[in-house]
Amino acid sequence: MNALETAGAWLAEGRKVAIATVIETWGSAPQPVGSQLVVDDAGNFEGAVSGGCVEGDVITAAQEAIETGAHKLLSYGVADETAWKVGLACGGKIRILVEAVK
Amino acid sequence: MTPQLLQQVLEARAARRPVAVVTDLKTGGQRMIARENAAADPLSAILDKAFRFDKSGVEQTGGGEVFVTVHNPPLRLVITGAVLIAQALIPMARAAGYDIWVVDPRGAFATGARFPDIHLHAEWPDEIIPQIGLDSRTAFIALTHDPKIDDPALALALTSEVFYIGALGSKKTQGSRVERLKAKGLSEAQLARIHGPIGLNIGAVGASEIAISIMAEMTKALRLG
């Protein structure tokens, strides 16, 4: 089952769902453009947008998107000023679109 | 994304219709475009490239930055031969995202106990393969060693748009296979599409390692042409 099919199945169960998608990568990125992570309002998730490095942060952002309904663009990389918090150990950079399904 | 749009994309995937979703990164607004309507779209050049190379990505347009997601139909693998190499290959192909069909008229081989959770047909390939439909998102592999089963299936694959055709057997077996298929009217150019002996040459020993070499060769054909 791919991430969108998971999203469809979760919606059918009455869960609130958001989707995070890798939209751009630079350098050595663990997951290619188009990779998706599906998150529900309880924090369950399927899929991946990195090798596990930034998923925690993306899940929080996805739950916010479920609350607000607004889409969001996130960027991660070691050169980022937030790198002390979450970043990519591999040295790559990624950009992620987070959107609620509603 | 609205639930309606998600549903439309899922229906298109299930029906093997290629579609793309264009997301305006500023507003979050989205629309779905079917491949057959892409030529008439304002973003036709971008969409055509995305579909052809199966490549999603961010694009700059007159209206700002957009993200184009390509939803090409899921990959399929059609195998003749309910044999040990097929058993070793199936879990790997499934992990790589393929839907899998195994066709083998020998009922003793094609059993649900040996091949659970796939599309299994204990029938002759020329009866069932036209119903499966071989397209550009499909790979075909002949594993029986039996010309009565493999040859008709290969003839169908060679006249289709499948992205990969592999046939098990030594150089000698492959040589006589090519001669038989030539006698059936297939051209040199068509027959050159067969990867035979099958698999990348990694010195594979035994069914599991041969399956790895086949998986690698299929992936190479898919990604590098």
Report the SS3 class of residue A48: coil
pLDDT tens by residue, B108-149:
999 999 999 999 999 999 999 999 989 888 999 999 999 999
pLDDT > 70? residue B47: yes
- Single-letter amino acid, residue B197: P
Name the closest residue on chain A to residue B10, using Cα atoms: A5
- pTM for this prediction: 0.75
Q: Which of B11, B44, B71 is the last residue of a domain?
A: B71
Residues B144 and B215 in one domain: yes
Same domain, residue pair B120 and B212: yes
Rounded Cα–Cα distance for residues B185 and B199 (Å): 26
Q: What is the pLDDT of residues B158-217, one digit of tens each?
A: 999 899 999 999 999 999 999 999 999 999 999 999 999 999 999 999 999 999 999 999
pLDDT of residue B49: 85
The answer to whether the CB of B168 falls within 8 A of the CB of B179 is: no
B13 CB within 8 Å of a chain A CB: yes
**Which CATH number goes with the domain that contains B216?**
3.40.50.720
- Cβ–Cβ contact A21 with B under 8 A: yes
Q: From the CB of residue B44, how many other CB atoms can be counted at a distance below 10 Å?
A: 13
pLDDT value, residue A89: 63
B106 and B33 within one domain: no
Residue of A8, A19, A102 with shortest CB distance to B10: A8
Average pLDDT, chain A: 87
Using an 8 Å CB-CB cutoff, list chain B residues near A8: 6-7, 10
Token pair belonging to B13: 């995937």
d(CA A24, CA A92) in angstroms, rounded, equals 11
Q: Which of A71, A93, A98 to mutate to test the interface with B (most CBs of B within 10 A)?
A: A71
Q: Which residues of A touch B3 (CB under 8 A)?
A: 11, 101-102
Instruction: Give the CB-side neighbour count of residue B222, counting CA atoms within 13 A.
Output: 21
Token pair for A9: 């199945």
**Do B147 and B47 fall within a single domain?**
no
Domain span at residue A78?
A: 3-100
Residue B176's nearest CA partner among B203, B159, B154 is: B154
Q: Apex CA A13: angle with CA B94 and CA B16, to 5°?
A: 40
For residue B133, the model assigns a pLDDT of 87
pLDDT value at residue A29 = 77
Mean residue pLDDT of chain B comes to: 95
Same domain? B169 vs B122: yes
* CB-CB under 8 Å, A34 with B56: yes
> Is A97 an 8 Å CB contact of chain B?
yes
What is the share, in percent, of chain B residues with pLDDT greater than 90? 87
Count other Cβ atoms within 10 Å, centred on residue B113.
5
- Taking only the tens place, the pLDDT of each residue in B79-109 is 999 999 999 999 999 999 999 999 999 999 9
Which residue range is the domain that position B117 belongs to? 76-224
Total structural domains within chain A: 1
Q: Is the pLDDT of residue A15 over 60?
A: yes
Contacts of A23 in chain B (CB under 8 A): 25, 56-58, 67
Residue by residue, DSSP assigns B89-124 as HHHHHHHTT-EEEEE-S-TTTS-TTTSTTSEEE-S-
Q: Grade residue A83 by pLDDT with cuts at 50, 70 and 90.
A: very low
B61 with B80, same domain: the answer is: no
Average pLDDT score over residue span B36-51: 92
Check residue B225 and give its pLDDT. 76
What percent of chain A clears pLDDT 70, i.e. is strictly above it? 85
Could you tell me if the ipTM is greater than 0.90?
no
Report pLDDT for B208: 97
Chain B contacts of A71, Cβ < 8 Å?
28
* Shortest CA distance from A73: residue in chain B: B25
Residues B9 and B24 in one domain: yes
Residue with tokens 């192909």: B93
Residue A70 has pLDDT above 50, yes or no: yes
Residues B126 and B170 in one domain: yes
Give the residue from B56, B71, B86 where a domain finishes: B71
Place of tokens 């998971």: A6
- State how many domains chain B has: 2
Whether B23 and B120 map to the same domain: the answer is no
pLDDT of residue A88: 66
Cα-atom radius of gyration of chain A, to the nearest Å?
13
B37 plus B98 within the same structural domain:
no
* Same domain, yes or no: B123 and B197: yes
Q: Give the phi and the psi of residue B11 in degrees, each rounded to 5.
A: -65, -40
Q: Which of B5, B6, B65 to mutate to test the interface with A (most CBs of A within 10 A)?
A: B6
Single residue among B71, B98, B114 that ends a domain in this structure:
B71
Residue of A nearest to B29 (CA): A71
Is the pLDDT at B41 greater than 90? The verdict is yes
